[in-house]
Structure 1
Amino acid sequence: MKFFLQCLQFLPLLIIFTLESLLKLFIPKKRKSVTGEIVLITGAGHGIGRLTAYEFAKLKSKLVLWDINKHGIEDTAAECRRLGAKVHAFVVDCSNREDIYSSAKKVKAEVGDVSILVNNAGVVYTSDLFATQDPQIEKTFEVNVLAHFWTTKAFLPVMMKNNHGHIVTVASAAGHTGVPFLLAYCSSKFAAVGFHKALTEELAALERTGVKTTCLCPNFINTGFIKNASTALGPILEPEEVVDKLLNGILTEQKMIFIPSSICFLTVVENTVSRKRQPNAENWEPLCIHLWWTAVTAKTFITP
């Protein structure tokens, strides 16, 4: 009975946050200007990173592009210059901490202080746990998680000093729910989501409210990295759709971007149903926690 009453206490909160979110859908937040901002995008030689660079180029930002693929990064840079942007391209191995730090020093010396950091570089290996080689697991975490630490440590201090900047974490819906044969990838994306959430709270605690954070969590994207991808969270997405929502989320300073937006609720339902428990007294507490999480989700994640 106690846990049942706790559930009821969360329902008004859920309703209020949901109504607030729906109201804000009809009152869009003003998009900020990024003209002249120095934007660094990792993994800019292909896919989401490349298309994101194109969009920032159209917005007259100064671009710093990182990728391990020299040919890919040069192609992206050439198109961004054609779009009228000033571009600096660097070949960087985001699985290598020292390469990140040395490249960051070059950026500061040759370009200036980065004010928008888009941690987009990522790798994925599709196989079961035992077929995934140890070096593949290590590289997954080095690129998908640890690189976020090294780039942020390199560029965040100036943002904090100026109380102005933006850290963007490209994660995944797989950072909220497990997918078979993507154990290392899902684990790394769970860590990336945790990195974003903890960094957001830390900046708030340090009263650096001018430094914004955004985390992108899309369903699988049609970029060719994962063949025949399929989940219960929705259809496979086209890169252009994802980048459009990512840019809008950055410019309106959204903390969490789910694509499609229904993923935030579907993950809660999946986690609740997967427990396969009967609603007896001793199991009301997990349900209460899920209801609370849903309420917070409605407030924090889907509010424009």
Structure 2
Amino acid sequence: MIKFILNCLLLVPILLIFILESFVKLFIPKKRKSVVGEIVLITGAGHGIGRLTAYEFAKLQTKLVLWDINKNGIEETAAECRRLGAKTHVFVVDCSNREDIYSTAKKVKTEVGDVSILINNAGVVFTSDLMATEDLHIEKTFEVNVLAHFWTTKTFLPAMMKNNHGHIVTVASAAGHTVVPYLMAYCSSKFAAVGFHRALTEELAALRRTGVKTTCLCPNFINTGFIKNPRTSLGPTLEPKEVVEKLMHGILTEQKMIFVPFSVCILTIVERIFPERFLRLLRRKINVKFDAVVGYKVKEQ
């Protein structure tokens, strides 16, 4: 143990250098990479963040592969992407179904080619306490929000690793770093999604596939209609457009973790440092609220 502590102390000068380097980089805009000609696959592209992200990639001369369970929604997205000049392929996929993902991915590789940018965006949420959340809803939350990331990545990562070129994007949430009541299944799944991103990042580094990049998006409440009447003192509900702007900048500058707003990042640090009693007071001040179904009832004495 003493030897380990001494070895850690030897790292302090290097830490200070890295901190200074990071501070200087704050004032030096990072050049955006070109994605011209890349094959970009976006899950959950029929609405919200997925749809707007597809529009942005369409403007960058990429070839788009759009997945969603909603046929009408994804066709609307595709029509606009084509109007913007992008060659677009549409697939109706149930991201809660592993075999559907695998079979559709096989079609993509045959009909379109090897995906080089994978954006795991599809997600579901059920706003209720544990007692009121149906078993099937808990299973679907994990199937879409986490397990689908494994199936898509296992399918498309090999080609990226072979070429040592690619980018895997995990759309998670602030709920992957901090929790609120009545989103138990959702928060748990998003913690898992953040863990997936971090573990994948480390695994790629261990395998020396440094050309395959990873990015994780962790926004606060977004005005997409999934959660009804969200409100918090951290700030107003985010508009999808501003979140997508941050996401696109993060992808093109190869950021590992994107917090929107940045106060979410500060909150995650605070939760790891300060005492639990203080954190309880802080959560009251943050005052997260939204419409939810509460199945557990306290019996009157």
Name the TM tier (shorter chain): 0.7 to 0.9
Amino acid at match of 1:167: I
Which residue of structure 2 aligns with residue 78 of structure 1?
A: 79
Q: Is the 8 A contact 1:233 1:266 kept in 2?
A: no
- 1:1-304 to 2 correspondences below 5 Å: 17-231=18-232, 233-273=234-274, 275-276=276-277
Question: How far does the alpha carbon of each residue in 1:1-60 deviate from its partner, in whole angstroms, 9 at most, with x for none?
Answer: x9xx99xx7998876655433321211111000011000000000000000000000001
Moved over 2 A (4+): 9-22, 230-235, 270-274
Which residue of structure 1 aligns with residue 289 of structure 2?
A: none
2: distance between equivalents of 1:16 and 1:224?
A: 45
Partner SS for 2:274:
helix
Q: Name structure 2 gaps, 5 residues minimum.
A: 279-301
Amino acid at match of 2:271: E
Which residue of structure 1 aligns with residue 283 of structure 2?
A: none
TM-score by length of 1: 0.85
Q: Name structure 1 gaps, 5 residues minimum.
A: 278-304
Question: How far does the alpha carbon of each residue in 1:57-109 deviate from its partner, in whole angstroms, 9 at most, with x for none?
Answer: 00010000000000000000000000000000000000000000000000000
Question: How far does the alpha carbon of each residue in 1:177-228 deviate from its partner, in whole angstroms, 9 at most, with x for none?
Answer: 0011100000000000000000000000000000000000111111111012
Q: Is the 8 A contact 1:44 1:53 kept in 2?
A: yes
1: distance between equivalents of 2:24 and 2:92?
A: 45
Question: How far does the alpha carbon of each residue in 1:152-191 deviate from its partner, in whole angstroms, 9 at most, with x for none?
Answer: 0000000000000000000001000001110000000000
2: distance between equivalents of 1:160 and 1:18?
A: 31
1:180–1:15 distance in 2 versus 1, CA, 3 Å: farther
Identify which of structures 1 and 2 has the higher relative contact order when contacts are C-alpha pairs closer than 8 Å and 6+ apart. 1
Partner SS for 1:276:
helix
Partner SS for 1:122:
coil
Q: Is the 8 A contact 1:219 1:234 kept in 2?
A: no
Amino acid at match of 1:160: M
- Among the aligned pairs, what percent are the same residue? 81
TM-score by length of 2: 0.86
2: distance between equivalents of 1:229 and 1:271?
A: 25
